[in-house]
């Protein structure tokens, strides 16, 4: 069954509002990756987190890896219409292959 | 060309047809993957090849048959598919097949089974 859950499943925000998606794993992860998929597009790698409690920033995006390495979050400050898409977290499971979370679809209204 | 290229981008087939999806990567990676993405389920890992050897077969029905003739090319042969197999099939590659490696995806092949 699915081992990586993301919440919320959907999020609609007004442009300029903040957005956060959460990723929860059933097991401890050696690393977690985040990908973005634009509507009609394919997943594109954003960032990888490895250390417990690690925080990384990319302009308006802030990524965090939990202390127990079982959860992660992606926070977008002051969303823009270019942020529209589905955000996936992914982590290695079972045979050390990358398994993707359920995704959070973000819609931004101008 | 650079990156990961998939052909065809769109495919419509009947349940009795045989078709193939092709993936080519120009990144010098040694691992290649097939993922299935449908409306009902998130990205599902189907097959993993590392150095042309299949290292993962994620309980995929035998009507899907992968082939990896070399580290740059990956095929997915399709036969006697079902309508529920309609989905976006994504190919990806990485430098190494462990879960620590970052994936580069192709644009996908949108498959419709009638």
- Show pLDDT as tens, one digit a residue, over chain B (114 residues): 569 999 999 999 988 889 999 999 999 999 999 999 998 788 999 999 988 788 777 789 999 999 999 999 999 999 999 999 999 999 999 998 888 899 999 999 999 999
Q: Which two tokens stand for residue A66?
A: 């939990």
Q: List, as one string, the DSSP characters of B7-22.
A: E-SEEEE-TT-EEEEE
- Which of B43, B56, B103 is closest, CB to CB, to A45? B103
State the count of interchain CB pairs (< 8 A) between A and B: 54
Strands A104-109 and A10-14: parallel
Q: Which residue of A has its CA nearest to B91?
A: A42
């Amino acid at each position: 069954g699915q081992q990586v859950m993301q919440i919320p499943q959907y999020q609609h925000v007004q442009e300029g509002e903040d957005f956060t998606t959460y990723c929860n794993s059933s097991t401890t992860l050696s690393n977690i990756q985040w990908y973005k998929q634009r509507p009609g597009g394919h997943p594109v790698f954003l960032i990888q987190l490895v250390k417990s409690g690690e925080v990384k920033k990319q302009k308006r995006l802030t990524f965090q890896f939990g202390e127990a390495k079982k959860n992660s979050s992606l926070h977008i400050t002051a969303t823009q219409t270019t942020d529209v898409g589905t955000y996936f977290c992914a982590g290695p499971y079972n045979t050390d292959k990358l398994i993707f979370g359920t995704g959070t679809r973000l819609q931004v209204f101008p | 060309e650079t990156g990961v290229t998939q052909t065809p981008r769109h495919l419509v087939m009947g349940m009795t047809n045989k078709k193939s999806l092709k993936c080519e990567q120009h990144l010098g990676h040694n691992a290649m993957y097939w993922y299935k993405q449908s409306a009902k389920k998130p990205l599902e890992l189907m097959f993993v090849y590392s150095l042309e050897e299949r290292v993962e077969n994620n309980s995929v029905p035998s009507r899907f048959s992968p082939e990896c003739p070399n580290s740059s090319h990956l095929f997915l042969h399709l036969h006697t598919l079902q309508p529920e197999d309609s989905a976006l099939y994504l190919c990806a590659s990485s430098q190494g097949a462990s879960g620590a490696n970052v994936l580069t995806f192709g644009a996908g092949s949108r498959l419709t089974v009638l």
